[in-house]
Amino acid sequence: MNTTPFNPAEIIEIYDIRHKYLGYHPLCSGHINDTYVLEFQTDEGSKHSLLLQRINTNVFKKPVELMQNIVAVTSFLREKIIEEGGDPERETLNVIRTKDGDFLFVDKAGHYWRLYNYIENAYSVDIPEDPKLFYELGKAFGKFQKMLDSFPIDTLHETIPDFHNTKKRYEAFEKAVEENLSGRLENALPEIEFVRARKADASVLVDMIAEGKLPLRVTHNDTKLNNVMFDSESHKSICVVDLDTVMPGLSLYDFGDSIRFGANTAAEDEKDVSKVSLSLPLYTEYVKGYLSEAGNILTPAEVEYLPFSAKLMTYECGMRFLTDFLNGDTYFKTKYPEHNLVRCRTQFALVADMERKMDEMQKITQEEYKKVTS
């Protein structure tokens, strides 16, 4: 029985690939799309690979708009990289078009597929065990911001409306409390109070956007460590990947979520919250890397709110876990009944530690900002 998840002959025909097909292997690092590395051999005997992905249309309802965003951003980045004398084959994803010029195709089963260049001699990691990698992560996302500073933001689609609208996330939380669909409200009373005590935080950045105090930028919206490729020899960051959630947003969202995920001393679902804290050394490394690239394009208001954004994104994430717990675990995958409650407690413990360290975070940020702008 043929268990190949795609038809290699169809791919070769659609993309008019002239090289010998050797086979494929799946990449298991992603949680949403199905990804495969296709291997080919040229007439001269050298080997090269391409990256094939099936888009999860249960998550991404408008794959054409999603791909329009990706093509626009990667094409813009490619031109910038060439202008600066870089390598556009390694420093950005490149969408490979079909022989008809399309940037995706639909198979007979109705699945949407796309093909990328495969970045050779590179790797990704999940946990910043070496602080230098967290510095490189900050550098990669800072450079991403800097290179897209002049991108025409109004040409991008909002693929996930109100993704980081913390004000609306708070409203959804209160609705979940009121409805108590899971019948588990009594199990989460301290956590509910924790969210309500910080209600004013939820509207801070949203209100600043409305007042014109913060600029909309091209944002990645999934700034985890494993979404940056590192060179296998130099271990320097070379390319930001996984651009499915690229859309208009705030630089603060991307910065804050990187800190939330990467500078936590514990796992996202650590049950023992005494292990949860913000690593100031990791925070410092990220700030150094990020501002070394983006420091000169950020506004003073953006820089001022960088530490707050880390707290806000952590608060928002914890609130989303709690909302899902109250709704009956309908959004996030869980491994046991209390999983979302454990997750929210971890996030709230991190919020509390950030509040204790906010003055230090501000000091670190301003000192590094002065270094790159003086």
Cα–Cα nearest to 36, from 131, 122, 116: 116
The pLDDT score that the predictor gives to residue 235 is 93
Report the predicted TM-score, pTM, of the whole model to 2 decimal places: 0.92
In this structure, the strands spanning 228-231 and 122-123 are: antiparallel
Residue 374 — very low, low, confident or very high, per pLDDT cuts 50/70/90?
confident
Contacts of 333 (CB under 8 A, 6+ apart): none
Angle at alpha carbon of residue 29, lines to 245 and 223, rounded to 5°: 35
CA 303 to chain centre: 20
Q: What's at 146, amino acid-wise?
A: K
The helix (run of H) or strand (run of E) holding residue 326 is helix 306-327
Write the Ramachandran bin of 51: left for phi over 0, alpha for psi from -120 to 50, otherwise beta.
Answer: beta
The domains of the chain, with CATH numbers, are 8-120 (3.30.200.20), 131-373 (3.90.1200.10)
For 193-207, what is each residue's pLDDT tens digit? 999 999 999 999 999
The most confident of 57-61, 170-174, 329-333, by mean pLDDT: 170-174
Q: Which residues pair with 20 in a beta bridge?
A: 41
For 13-64, what is each residue's pLDDT tens digit? 999 999 999 999 998 655 678 899 999 999 898 999 999 999 999 888 999 9
The pLDDT score that the predictor gives to residue 214 is 98
CA distances from 207 to 55, 95, 117, 165 (A): 34, 36, 40, 10
